[in-house]
Chain A
């Protein structure tokens, strides 16, 4: 169970939110001009990092606004939430492919 800070409503239980995958994906400005591989990459290719992940959430049972979450996929620790349009916060918490785990992830296999 996670507590997630909605940028508007404040800290709420995870069950009020819905998850919507990777954030900051840009639609090609001229879809007709990109080839199939580029279009396919835009539609389907997603990062699956072990570590920090920028992702979209929506406060479905609350204010129904979308926002971004910077979460560590190893231990579910949430480093920041921020509004759409805001730039991702610069978090120095181990965007390092799992090397800098701190105390939160004792069970991380090598």
Chain B
């Protein structure tokens, strides 16, 4: 029987683990490469884009306008914040981990007069990066989207599935190497960000690694 008056006697909650299921895995290297991206802050935002006051307040809070066209991404001037269109009244904000709490408060302050929801979902998703000139072919083994650059150009985002997992796919507009991979041949290297639910990370990673292996020359 827990003594609720004596908080010292309460069981200690388990220490939260900051690692994702992919953290223990070595990146897949070779012609097509797979690695986990370091965790960024994530905020899910809901609201009515038909209300100009809402979109203006959201833009004030974020320092950038929300993308209103389907399957598009907006970035701020410095390129550190990404806002993905998820639905007609839903967006996902990627931002530096340390800014998450303050941005969340700022959004809630600015949007207080409007019907809205701003929810931190940092730990709900993991982000994988797939790159190499066969990256689109690898994805095509599990994803029904047409990933040809004519249809899915750099800068586009889309939600779809990979195998049985829901994923958010994004092809960054510039091939910003991030400095930790030395590929020397960035031009014919497609790069995809694959955001997937935490609990599906193992599944997607295994699937991708198997396909990379199968398609290797």
Contacts and interface: CB of A to CB of B under 8 A. Distances in A.
Interface of A: 8-10, 12-13, 15-16, 60-65
B72 to A, nearest CB: 11
A63 B2 CA distance: 44
Interface stretch (B104-112, B154-162, B179-187, B203-211): B154-162
10 contacts: A8-B88, A13-B145, A15-B144, A16-B144, A61-B159, A62-B158, A62-B160, A63-B70, A63-B90, A65-B87
Interface of B: 70-71, 86-88, 90, 144-145, 158-161, 166
Contacts of B71: 9-10
A65 B159 contact: no
Contact of B160 (A8, A12, A64, A65): A12
A9 B86 CA distance: 9
B70 A13 contact: no
Given A9-B70, A9-B71, A63 B87 contact: yes
Which applies to chain B's interface (DSSP): helix, strand, loop or mixed? strand
Given A9-B70, A15-B161, 20 more contacts: A8-B70, A8-B87, A10-B70, A10-B71, A12-B144, A12-B160, A13-B145, A15-B144, A16-B160, A60-B166, A61-B159, A61-B161, A61-B166, A62-B159, A63-B70, A63-B87, A63-B88, A63-B90, A64-B87, A65-B88
Which applies to chain A's interface (DSSP): helix, strand, loop or mixed? loop
A16 B166 CA distance: 9
A13 B144 CA distance: 6
B166 A63 contact: no
Contacts of B160: 12, 16, 61-62
Given A63-B86, A63-B87, A9 B144 contact: no
A9 B161 contact: no
A63 B144 contact: no
Contacts of B88: 8, 63, 65
Contacts of B158: 9, 62
A8 B166 CA distance: 17
A7 B71 CA distance: 12
A61 B90 CA distance: 14
Nearest to A62: B159
A76 B90 CA distance: 31
B145 to A, nearest CB: 8
A12 B87 CA distance: 15
Nearest to A83: B88
Contacts of B144: 12-13, 15-16
Nearest to B85: A63
Nearest to A13: B144
A31 B207 CA distance: 49
